[in-house]
Amino acid sequence: MDKIIQVDQLYKSYGALQAVKGISFYVERGKLFAFLGPNGAGKSTTIDILCTLLKPDRGEVLIDGIALGQNNDAIRKQIGVVFQESLLDPQLTVLENLQTRGRFYGLQGNELQKAVERALTVVEAHEFAKQTYGNCSGGQRRRADIARALIHTPKILFLDEPTTGLDPKTKENVWQTIENLQKQSGMTVFLTTHYMEEAAKADYIILLQKGEIAAKGTPYDLQDRYSSDTMRLKARNPEKIERVLAENQLPFEFKNGIHVVALTDTLLAIPLIQAMQEDLESFEVVHGSMEDVFLNIIGGEWEHA
């Protein structure tokens, strides 16, 4: 397995506040990797450390084989970062912004022009390239931010909450850009988010809570481990139903005239439904969702955005 990012026992405190408490993980090359967690979980701190913006208190970080702190400029050439806030210059046009930033990486003349052209194409930003960044809409700005991060064709793209604060349609649009980019270029994408639906699209998820890793795995793994399927029954004859459930040793909850039963597997519902067929008015079987996973791990602290 090819690990492009390796993090070992990473710690970072701000005064008395421990933001990151000894986390270890790795990211495989070419994968879409998501850091998920509520606000204040330590996502941005970790990303700032990986992007060479913050010095960790302790811990080892290897990025594409280069140790963090040894040759940070070499790391900076390999990474592109889309920050949570829009950081380009509002007085300059999108084009000027990209040209200025391209020169940070030593791009010049023809080479620079090609790089700018390519970045604009990836995010489909040609139509507003000549507009000042300050006059762009939220979605256009985000796309310009992504173009800026891609200007030097980095190996790893970091995105810190790339869709926060965007309207649903723009969010979808930006997300589409990220997914296409990752699929077409095979670039490693590392993103943080507090939207569960977004994390569910990643190849691998780490769930961060209060500076520690609360869970990790593929979206499928996590659903399997941390959520259960439920069967909801509307009974014509409650007593008989309850008897069948008791025979199968299934505990249930009775709410608003509906029996709610937790199942370890959706398929288990088939024989039960068959046995109860006569006594049911209706039923539904729901597969565990990503939302359940997070609610189960994080508990009530989840902040819905």
Partner 1 sequence: MLNLAIRNLKIFFRQKSAVFFSLLGVFIVMGLYLLFLGDAYVGNSTLPGMKSLMDHWLIAGIVSITSITTTMGAFEIMVIDRANHRDKDFFAAPMSRRTIVGGYILCAFLVGLIMTLLSFVIGELYILSQGGHVLQFTVILQMLGVILLSTMMSSSFVFFLVSFFSSISAFSTASTVLGTMVGFLTGIYVPIGNMPDSVQWLIKTFPVAHSGALMRQIMMKEAAAFTFAGVPLEYRAGFEEFIGVYFLYGEWKSSPALHLAVMAGSAVLFFILATWNVSRKYK
Closer CB to partner 1, 158 or 204, in the complex: 158
**Measured from the CB of residue 183, what is the shortest distance to partner 1 in angstroms?**
25
**Measured from the CB of residue 87, what is the shortest distance to partner 1 in angstroms?**
4
Which candidate, 102, 85, 92, places its Cα nearest to that of 133?
Answer: 92
In sequence order, the 6+-apart residues with CB closer than 8 A to the CB of 254 are: 260
Closer CB to partner 1, 51 or 222, in the complex: 51
Closer CB to partner 1, 190 or 204, in the complex: 190
**Measured from the CB of residue 9, what is the shortest distance to partner 1 in angstroms?**
22
Asked if 190 and 159 count as a contact pair (C-beta separation under 8 A), the reply is yes
Asked if 134 and 143 count as a contact pair (C-beta separation under 8 A), the reply is no
H helices then E strands: how many in the chain? 11, 14
Look at the chain and count its residues. Answer: 305
Closer CB to partner 1, 100 or 289, in the complex: 100
Question: Beta strands 204-209 and 32-36: pairing type?
Answer: parallel
Closer CB to partner 1, 34 or 50, in the complex: 50
Closer CB to partner 1, 165 or 271, in the complex: 165
**Measured from the CB of residue 60, what is the shortest distance to partner 1 in angstroms?**
20
**Measured from the CB of residue 171, what is the shortest distance to partner 1 in angstroms?**
22
Closer CB to partner 1, 69 or 106, in the complex: 106
Asked if 69 and 10 count as a contact pair (C-beta separation under 8 A), the reply is no
Q: Side by side, which strands form the sheet with 32-36?
A: 79-82, 156-160, 188-193, 32-36, 204-209, 212-217
Positions that interact with partner 1 (CB under 8 A)? 51-53, 55, 73-74, 76-77, 79, 81, 83, 85, 87-89, 91-92, 96, 100-101, 103-106, 148
In sequence order, the 6+-apart residues with CB closer than 8 A to the CB of 28 are: 1, 2, 3, 4, 188, 203, 204
In whole angstroms, what is the distance from residue 139 CA to residue 30 CA? 26
**Measured from the CB of residue 80, what is the shortest distance to partner 1 in angstroms?**
9
Asked if 133 and 94 count as a contact pair (C-beta separation under 8 A), the reply is yes
**Measured from the CB of residue 265, what is the shortest distance to partner 1 in angstroms?**
46
**Measured from the CB of residue 53, what is the shortest distance to partner 1 in angstroms?**
6
In whole angstroms, what is the distance from residue 182 CA to residue 201 CA? 12
Per-residue CA distances from 120 to 113, 123, 267 (Å): 11, 6, 48
Closer CB to partner 1, 18 or 86, in the complex: 86
